[in-house]
Structure 1
């Protein structure tokens, strides 16, 4: 049975080359043929229908657009990349090699790779899922060259003035008369044949490095794109006439939207001027009005600029909520940080923040570099899903406790699932179960964890208060010893309410200790919900631990709560 229709966006990030890979060899720096690679075709109708049942509304296919790689596809007319400017055997999906093509790794028949991606879009839509892909606007692979662009399109750099460090109509930034120098100690597996990399004049590197020799820690495999900002002269802006890069990027977005892509997760959006976004997003929405734009952004001082001037629909909530919840999951945070987050975001954009606990950039919850136990995500995930009405995101395998413990290739052993190399993800393979997508090989703990996520998503989709309700923080009424047994550093309590539904949500982030406490709901909160502060109410528990409590509004609510757990009650007046 599918989840009911709801207004809550739940994004499931699929690292496309890993999702359907059932190979379990997992050799360090293994080749495509040794370690295997997932295909578009592996994401079957069955898989998509199961994700829909799970509670997903949007599938984000990561790594779709063709990027630089050490795997040789020259037999298919795709130029070979120089390994000195590629990270990992498979390569980074954020070093785009051709904005108008898809990654050949992902196709069963490389010659028909675009048709296979278009078929995936069709399957996704048939499963009632929206499709999101990455748009990488800030930088391209050092050997960018589009083979699949329409004949009318001029390639990036094709008409640049290469003898000028900055020109408003250039697509790249140049270091005239200087040769690019590959960083020292670029790791290349012994079996990969090398040949000198030539780039003259040198171009600026993607992470705003204006040096002919970036470091190994820079985004050395990428070239910074020029949107009309002169970085070396006070960041002077030159937006009239419309820069060439703006026009090219608009056409690329329209190209993918025309294929049925419903939204774009915009990589490092804050490294591109918000003025561009404020121009291009309306340009796309004039043709495809329902297209969703999500900005990867890490500077809270720029949030309003990118939302209200840049016209983004949603922003990453990494620096705010993710960082606060991560500290709590690691056992050393304070729930006061959650209050500070919503206060900073309240009013005009709290519902436009994308909440998450994992993605391809972050360490896995279960890893030794993070919480070490995937169940420690329970209260944090509930807060992420229910604090406000904005979108929620899960990374593939989060729901079964993926825990990377081996060095996979370029990124080493760092608690992340590799972005750069071919690999199999054993916990996720257990859910895929040879293409049945039924979790048949999951162990009992993995099944229990996945059921928690499923129950939470189903609650989100069935609750009007969570989707559309107002928010009321109860910390101020329960902290400082006002409620006996209430640990205001580890507990977090709040209300979500509409005219039709009122919820009380209590979270205990203490990983080891439960408590018997009393929850105060002050008169102002009752009145804000449109209820009497002198009334009698029934609290019906609607998540995980079914229980009914009868209360008087003017008295504390006696409540026991286990370590690392949550309790969610619907408040119902007694007639």
Structure 2
């Protein structure tokens, strides 16, 4: 995968002036359960949510609120999950059957879950969010439907089916009794609470494009689940026997290029975020996605080896970075503290590094509180904990800095740190008409000293501010330009300087 950064992409030397939004993920039904306990009254509908909760997110600098799990689910999925309830003990040792709420990725129809409200309630909530300066992001799960989707009965041809000559009864490891295949991909096998859409059937594609447009009409963005699995090559790799047996031909275009182009003609401001792996990130950017998951940096950070992180950032393609969605956790990943070997302070500096380069900044609910226990998507709660005081303090300061406009739409440059201990450091400068800010990160054990040249520093003596601590220093602008700003940064820590 390293070749993706070093060879496959041309290194861009231009500064990015793109918008870098902050996206906040809320697992909707568990969040409502959390709010019910917080407020001491039942909060189960979209209309019940106290708007001050969203205002709190706005105050943090959040731009998009992703309400994960808003669409209609079925009885089959819930029964399936309850039959596998022992699987949840590792995440929730004290779970009860009432905690099992069904996977939000086994969708029967793209209408609002009746337990939460109606489609009109979603539209009304979006209007309220927009009025306070927030945008609404919703799910699109493209690969499969729930087993009990009405389309499995009314439009069975929309699905991948066993070849016509397959003897009955069909093998239950792969197929439902009517021959429809379980949903799946080429690496993860089959998800037996889902049925697989057939993307080589033009009627299926047209139906799902209509769903994309519907979601766009109700939201400001959509997060597309496992977006790469429906690419023509990957889809054929997985479903070749079935597609060939039924005589389906390879589409002349990719679904995403059609869906995104057509949708943006009607809704030009909607953004598309792809969950994507397997080195298909750039492919999806080329097909029109605004942002794509960027997990490679996270995985290298988690090795705690600065030598594995440096090649990624040294060879960073700015165009690719500006379309990346940077995160240290989400609902699929372990909590950041666990990802970073239980070291809360390292999870924090890794997040700051990711959030200090261009692209979308992704925050998972509970991350800012330093939670360690994962919330399983099938459950309404995670195991109770207090979180990390260090993490809460760190993000309390960092989020206030990152919400400045310079980090949203300013110009970005990666700077060189010099000195005998320069190997420890990364430095990133953000500037606009109002601010000049440099982020200096020590991603290693032990304190380090380095020099960071600030070529745009004003002449003469000036007072600079280290924004995390609030401490001020008087420094010579000429010296910062010619020799560099001297920094001493503790191990696994950072400093952020505002200068003139």
The aligned counterpart of 1:77 is: none
Q: Which structure 2 segments of 5+ residues have no match?
A: 1-17, 89-99, 233-253
Partner Cα distance (1:23, 1:261) in 2: 23
The aligned counterpart of 1:174 is: 162
Q: Would you say the 8 A contact 2:376–2:382 is kept in 1?
A: no
Instruction: Give the one of 206, 209, 232 matched to 1:250.
Output: 209
Shift of 1:352: 1.0
1:555 equivalent to 2:483? Answer yes
Instruction: Give the one of 12, 15, 19 matched to 2:31.
Output: 19
The aligned counterpart of 1:60 is: 66
Q: Would you say the 8 A contact 2:182–2:190 is kept in 1?
A: no
Q: What does 1:89-100 correspond to in 2, within 5 Å?
A: 89-99=100-110
Report the RMSD for the aligned CA atoms in angstroms. 3.4
The aligned counterpart of 1:140 is: 145
The aligned counterpart of 2:239 is: none
Partner Cα distance (2:432, 2:122) in 1: 41
The aligned counterpart of 2:362 is: 393
The aligned counterpart of 2:346 is: 376
Question: CA 1:223 to 1:175, structure 2 compared with 1: closer, same or farther past 3 Å?
Answer: farther
Question: CA 1:115 to 1:85, structure 2 compared with 1: closer, same or farther past 3 Å?
Answer: farther
Shift of 1:95: 1.6
Shift of 1:175: 4.0
Q: Would you say the 8 A contact 1:55–1:454 is kept in 2?
A: no
Q: Would you say the 8 A contact 1:208–1:224 is kept in 2?
A: no
1:340 equivalent to 2:301? Answer no
Instruction: Give the one of 23, 38, 47 matched to 2:53.
Output: 47
1:221 equivalent to 2:226? Answer no
Helix, strand or coil at the partner of 1:362 = coil
Helix, strand or coil at the partner of 2:142 = coil
Question: CA 1:343 to 1:297, structure 2 compared with 1: closer, same or farther past 3 Å?
Answer: farther
Shift of 1:159: 4.3
Partner Cα distance (1:175, 1:67) in 2: 29
Helix, strand or coil at the partner of 1:350 = helix
Shift of 1:281: 0.7
Shift of 1:471: 1.5
> Following TM superposition, where does structure 1 have runs of at least 4 consecutive aligned residues deviating by more than 6 angstroms?
80-88
Helix, strand or coil at the partner of 2:215 = helix
1:295 equivalent to 2:274? Answer yes
Q: Which structure 1 segments of 5+ residues have no match?
A: 1-5, 26-35, 73-79, 146-154, 162-169, 185-196, 210-214, 229-241, 405-415, 428-441
The aligned counterpart of 1:192 is: none
1:5-63: per-residue Cα shift (whole Å, max 9, x none)?
Answer: x94311110000111314999xxxxxxxxxx9954345321111111112111100001
Question: CA 1:499 to 1:248, structure 2 compared with 1: closer, same or farther past 3 Å?
Answer: same
Instruction: Give the one of 266, 272, 275 matched to 2:224.
Output: 266
Helix, strand or coil at the partner of 1:255 = helix
Shift of 1:84: 6.5
The aligned counterpart of 1:569 is: 497
Q: Would you say the 8 A contact 2:329–2:335 is kept in 1?
A: yes
TM-score scaled by structure 2? 0.77
The aligned counterpart of 2:289 is: 312
1:459-495: per-residue Cα shift (whole Å, max 9, x none)?
Answer: 2232426632131241xx53xxxx13x261x432233
Question: CA 1:399 to 1:64, structure 2 compared with 1: closer, same or farther past 3 Å?
Answer: same
Q: What does 1:473-552 correspond to in 2, within 5 Å?
A: 473-474=415-416, 477-478=417-418, 483-484=419-420, 486=421, 488=423, 490-498=424-432, 501-510=435-444, 513-515=446-448, 517-521=449-453, 526=455, 529=456, 538=462, 540-545=464-469, 546-551=471-476, 552=479
Question: CA 1:556 to 1:422, structure 2 compared with 1: closer, same or farther past 3 Å?
Answer: closer
Q: What does 1:95-110 correspond to in 2, within 5 Å?
A: 95-99=106-110, 101-104=111-114, 106-107=115-116
Question: CA 1:204 to 1:465, structure 2 compared with 1: closer, same or farther past 3 Å?
Answer: closer
Partner Cα distance (2:330, 2:379) in 1: 16
Shift of 1:351: 0.9
Question: CA 1:38 to 1:563, structure 2 compared with 1: closer, same or farther past 3 Å?
Answer: farther
Helix, strand or coil at the partner of 1:131 = strand
Instruction: Give the one of 118, 121, 125 matched to 1:120.
Output: 125
Helix, strand or coil at the partner of 2:499 = strand
Instruction: Give the one of 379, 387, 394 matched to 1:421.
Output: 379
TM-score scaled by structure 1? 0.68
Question: CA 1:65 to 1:348, structure 2 compared with 1: closer, same or farther past 3 Å?
Answer: same
